[in-house]
Amino acid sequence: MSVALEDVHKEYRAHTGSVIALERIDLAAADGELLVVVGPSGSGKTTLLRCIAGLEQPDRGRVSIGGTDVTDDPPAARDVAMVFQEHALYPHLSVEDNITFGLRARKEPEPSIAQKLVNVSELMGIEKALSRKPAELSGGERQRVALARAIVREPKAFLMDEPLSDLDAELRAYMRAEIHALQRRLATTTVYVTHDQIEAMTLGDKVAVVRDGRIEQAAAPADLYDRPANTFVARFIGSPPMNVVPAAALGISREGFLGIRPERIRLGPAGSARESGRVTRVEMIGHESIVHVIVNDEVLLARVPRENAPAAHSDTGIDFLDDDLHHFEADGKAIR
């Protein structure tokens, strides 16, 4: 079922002053869609998720699930499942009791609980762990149990709050793929919060970039990459980030900024190229190198094949196509 936020506003008041956590949020995940909300820490993305779950009450605006307004409904009435950052597994209960907690709370008949437990533990490959306590599980197993607990209730939507942040890099990549496959298979609308732009790009049907409680851009991953709406999104998405420099630094005389992806810069002999600069640093990252070049007092990063990388402290020419340039106003907005 679809999940939608309309004009949602949330402010936290304390005696030290108030903080705007969410400002006029309009965002929707279509039925079966995987929407990733990505942003730096403190950007309000978790608050956004908690507003959908009903753990926070927005000051203004509407939250709807499956087209029904649930803004004033308590969490239990919304029929969503949430996967928390630290999993929030009940430490004193076995895996089995953790998974069936919600079913028992809703007083489902025991035969139906038993059947669902079998199905979900097979699906997640945790049949052998059912009698163990969370403390006796590995990080990956805990993650699976947390997912199983969400799946078993067959909710209208999954809400995931940085579910992979506790895992090491290798396991994270693995679980990321697994969550993606699982979401495709179940086709349950999912809102996934992360600070990791790679996670966002690889998982999302749609990615919403948030900063300071506002949505900077919500679009398909390729659109975000190819057509960032402003300099924040341009720099946030992509690794290494897009070069965003004053237009004059690339020899174009106008106000505002120009952006160019590191892989769109070609380095060659100085003299014949559009611009020239001095290499300050070369980072070898495998078959490619990240070259730091100072051009007209601005640092540009270029991502080039390893064998084409110039030596550090040498002069180099810089070439790029006009089509690869992103144009931004002085206030950071993209010029289209």
Partner 1 sequence: MNAESRLAWPYLVGLMLLVFIPSVAAIALAFTDFTGIGSPTFSGFDNFKRLAGDGAFWRSLGNSGIYVAIAVPLRLVAAVAIALVLHRRSVGVGTARAVAFAPSVVPDAAWALLWLWLLNPLYGPLAIAFGVDFLTEPWAARLAIPLMGAFQIGEAFVIALAARSTIPRPLYEAAAIEGASPWFQLRRITLPMMAPVLAILVLRDIVVAVQVNFVPALIVTEGGPRYATTYLPLYIYRTAFRYFRFGYASTLSIALFVITGVVVVIQYRLARRWRLL
Binding site for partner 1 (CB under 8 A): 53-55, 74-76, 78, 80-82, 84-86, 88, 90-93, 101-102, 105-106, 149, 153
Query: What residues contact residue 315 under an 8 Å CB cut-off, 6+ apart?
Result: 270, 276, 277, 278, 279
Please state the closest distance from residue 55 (CB atom) to partner 1, in A.
5
Query: What residues contact residue 112 under an 8 Å CB cut-off, 6+ apart?
Result: 103
Please state the closest distance from residue 157 (CB atom) to partner 1, in A.
11
Please state the closest distance from residue 332 (CB atom) to partner 1, in A.
36
- CB nearer partner 1, residue 84 or residue 174: 84
232: nearest Cα among 336, 331, 126, 105:
331
- SS in 3 state form for the chain? CCEEEEEEEEEEEECCEEEEEEEEEEEEECCCCEEEEECCCCCCHHHHHHHHHCCCCCCEEEEEECCEECCCCCHHHHCEEEECCCCCCCCCCCHHHHHHHHHHHCCCCHHHHHHHHHHHHHHHCCHHHCCCCHHHCCHHHHHHHHHHHHHCCCCCEEEEECCCCCCCHHHHHHHHHHHHHHHHHHCCEEEEEECCHHHHHHHCCEEEEEECCEEEEEECHHHHHHCCCEHHHHHHCCCCCCEEEEHHHHCCCCCCEEEECHHHCEEECCCCCCEEEEEEEEEECCCEEEEEEEECCEEEEEEEEHHHCCCCCCEEEEECCHHHCEEECCCCEECC
- CB nearer partner 1, residue 102 or residue 268: 102
Please state the closest distance from residue 255 (CB atom) to partner 1, in A.
48
- CB nearer partner 1, residue 81 or residue 229: 81
- CB nearer partner 1, residue 85 or residue 202: 85
Please state the closest distance from residue 76 (CB atom) to partner 1, in A.
4
Please state the closest distance from residue 1 (CB atom) to partner 1, in A.
16
Please state the closest distance from residue 105 (CB atom) to partner 1, in A.
4
Q: What gap in Å lies between CA 102 and CA 4, rounded to an integer? A: 24
Half-sphere exposure of residue 91: CA atoms within 13 angstroms, side-chain side: 2
Please state the closest distance from residue 73 (CB atom) to partner 1, in A.
12
- CB nearer partner 1, residue 93 or residue 273: 93
- CB nearer partner 1, residue 87 or residue 264: 87
- CB nearer partner 1, residue 77 or residue 335: 77
- CB nearer partner 1, residue 56 or residue 216: 56
- CB nearer partner 1, residue 163 or residue 256: 163
Please state the closest distance from residue 156 (CB atom) to partner 1, in A.
12
